[in-house]
Amino acid sequence: MSVLIVGSIALDTVKTPVEEHADLLGGSASYAAVGASFFTDVKLVGIVGEDFPKAHIDYFGTRNIDLKGLQIVPGKTFRWSGEYHWDLNTRETRSVDLNVFEHFNPTLPAGYAASPYVLLANIAPSLQNHVLDQMQKPKFVIADTMDLWINIAKEELLKLLKRVDMLILNDSEARQLTGETSLIKAGERIRKLGPKYVALKKGEHGCLLFGEDVFFSCGAYPLEDIHDPTGAGDTFAGGLAGWLASNAGEGPVTFGQLRKAVVYGSVLASYNVEAFSLERLRSISLKDVDKRYAAFKAMSHFEVLE
Ligand code: AMP
């Protein structure tokens, strides 16, 4: 089953303590769509300007990403620039140029409204709500968000939470949203705001998954070299949604499937941070993903105590 993904498509400038690269393919929907495309067909909803390189559009096309929902309009593509600190865990946004994104109205093309799986990648919650308004009867809706929206669009975000099956956010955002210092309490508090499931990301420390009376804690695949953490969260969300759409299909989504989806999301995110932009994801296949999944399982597994 395919997954509909809406979010930002960007040209990023990224600075790490050792390297800086400009005008890279980025954006929450770009990472999420390519992540999901390892497992299933993707319907992409987004906007770019006329300056957006055709090579990127061609690349999406090679990944089974349906581009009927991609608007190409006069003007400049959304641009974001960020700089990472030494630990590569924290970063500062240097600049944001909304450009064509400022007037983005995500209208769904014919056929998109019936998509069973939906990933509302990180964009303004009002736009995420607008996409949901157009959906017929989605089977499973996942939303991602960020600190900015908790700060400036909390009401819209709270409205959205009542309409989604799963929320993905990181540890500091979960604390910010709930005012809880304990991540366990924060995860549970967010479930009470609407989503049946919450995936709480802890960067290099893995992820916590919350459901009703069920809980899963997953590490992160240990890496020796991280080159660019940009898009790790989006790739995680895309991998998770894509695996779920491909494997849960028409049946009910179970917690066991969500556990597996979270691990596949983590594996894809671990590949993504090994190079700038989507370069690493371009160079791997599903076979590599499965291989790392198996290695991750082997190193995380332990026996029941006698
Ligand atoms: P992440 O590293 O998962 O937080 O995602 C980074 C990506 O999010 C970059 O490629 C940016 O282009 C994109 N991005 C940054 N700020 C925003 C925003 N306000 N709305 C949508 N996308 C954004």
Ligand 1 centroid from CA 299, angstroms: 31
Helix (H) or strand (E) segment spanning residue 82: strand 78-84
Kindly report the protein residue whose alpha carbon is nearest to atom 6 of ligand 1.
231
- Give the pLDDT confidence of 273-289 residue by residue, as tens digits: 999 999 999 999 999 99
Residue 190 CA to residue 174 CA, distance in Å, equals: 8
d(CA 27, CA 7): 7
Give the chain's end-to-end CA distance (angstroms, integer): 42
Q: What is the DSSP string of 277-293?
A: TTHHHHT--HHHHHHHH
Q: Indicate the pairing of strand 117-120 with strand 65-73.
A: unpaired
Q: What is the pLDDT of residue 250?
A: 85
Choose which residue among 76, 146, 227, 240 to substitute to test ligand 1 binding: the one with the highest number of ligand atoms within 8 A of its C-beta. 146
Whole-Å CA distances, 181 to 39, 127, 171, 178: 36, 29, 10, 9
- Decide if 197 contacts 165 (C-beta within 8 A): yes
Which distant-in-sequence residues (6+ apart) come within 8 Å of 72 by Cβ? Answer: 47, 48, 49, 50, 52
What are 51-68's pLDDT values in tens digits? 999 999 999 999 989 999
Report the pLDDT value the prediction gives residue 34, as an integer from 0 to 100.
Answer: 98
Measured between alpha carbons, how far is 162 from 23 in angstroms, rounded to an integer? 36
Ligand 1 interacting residues, C-beta cut-off 6 A = 8, 10, 12, 26-28, 80, 122-123, 148, 230-234
Cβ–Cβ under 8 Å, residues 24 and 33: no
The pLDDT of residue 231? 97
Q: What is the pLDDT of residue 278?
A: 98
What are the mean pLDDT values of the chain's consecutive 10-residue runs (306 residues total)? Answer: 97 97 98 98 98 98 97 98 92 96 95 96 97 97 97 98 98 98 98 98 95 96 95 98 94 95 98 98 98 96 84
User: How far is the C-alpha of 162 from the C-alpha of 37, rounded, in Å?
Assistant: 28
10-15: strand order across its sheet: 20-26, 10-15, 78-84, 91-97
* Ligand 1 mean position, distance from CA 81 (Å): 9
Question: 249: CA distance to ligand 1 center in Å?
Answer: 29
CA of 27 to the centre of ligand 1 (A): 5
